[in-house]
Amino acid sequence: GAVVSQHPSWVICKSGTSVKIECRSLDFQATTMFWYRQFPKQSLMLMATSNEGSKATYEQGVEKDKFLINHASLTLSTLTVTSAHPEDSSFYICSARATRDERRNQPQHFGDGTRLSIL
Amino acid sequence: AQSVSQHNHHVILSEAASLELGCNYSYGGTVNLFWYVQYPGQHLQLLLKYFSGDPLVKGIKGFEAEFIKSKFSFNLRKPSVQWSDTAEYFCAVTGGFKTIFGAGTRLFVKA
């Protein structure tokens, strides 16, 4: 089945540093990838939609200068949390929808997530 | 705006009990509906999906869900739960292009 790989799975860093999270579709092309954030005991909140070759679309309330998204190829999207602070500590999950499936609106394939801990 | 509401945040059942988790959505157009499960320490997995046709959808592990358009609902059911069904269950709705998730329901099944 379709596989989405996320890296790293867990990162701990000091306040003020920037952290990059990668999301790769391993066996399919994904024009669109999605970035979610999950706080403890809460649901997934859509942060932004990443579009290959163009700017990401951010949800209301998500700072685009804080969460930089780059979707440079059909198999890779990156999320960079800039100048991270403890309140940015969360579980970040990416998902991808195969380009071939977009018109049929098939389910997204999820990565395993990245646990970000800012000290 | 698109939204998804899950009625129960926590459910505790004994093995062999029947399960029904509620999900209601609001969206003015055509929707696709999903139920995902997240077992402890694991990532999201798709349980079942509804796109069109028969409103009663059967998924993996004995789960099913019924789409009732007039009620904007997509409730998840299982006739007899097992201890291994302990997990968090998320209802998700795709309207237009975005997929929005409900807050989730934590199910704990007592052995």
Contact indicator for A82, A66 with CB cutoff of 8 Å = yes
Does the beta carbon of A46 lie under 8 angstroms from any beta carbon of chain B? yes
- Residues lower than pLDDT 70 in chain A: 1-2, 41, 99-106
Question: For position B31, what pLDDT does the model report?
Answer: 85
| pLDDT, average across residues B49-69 | 93
CA distances from A87 to A65, B9, B100 (A): 16, 24, 23
B7 touches chain A (CB under 8 A): no
Measured between beta carbons, the chain B residues lying within 8 angstroms of A4 are none
Cα B20 to Cα B64: distance, rounded to the nearest angstrom: 10
Measured distance CA(B46)–CA(A107) in Å, rounded: 8
Partner-chain contact A44 B32, CB within 8 Å: no
Find the mean pLDDT for residues B6-14: 93
Q: Report the pLDDT value the prediction gives residue A13, as an integer from 0 to 100.
A: 93
Residue in chain A lying closest to B99 (CA): A46
- Rounded Cα distance between A42 and A17, Å, is 26
Most confident of A24-33, B36-45, B77-86, B99-108: B77-86
Closest by CA position to B37, among listed B28, B25, B29, B48: B48
Of A42, A45, A111, the CB nearest to B43: A111
Determine which of A37-41, A72-76, B16-20, B59-63 has the lowest per-residue pLDDT on average: A37-41
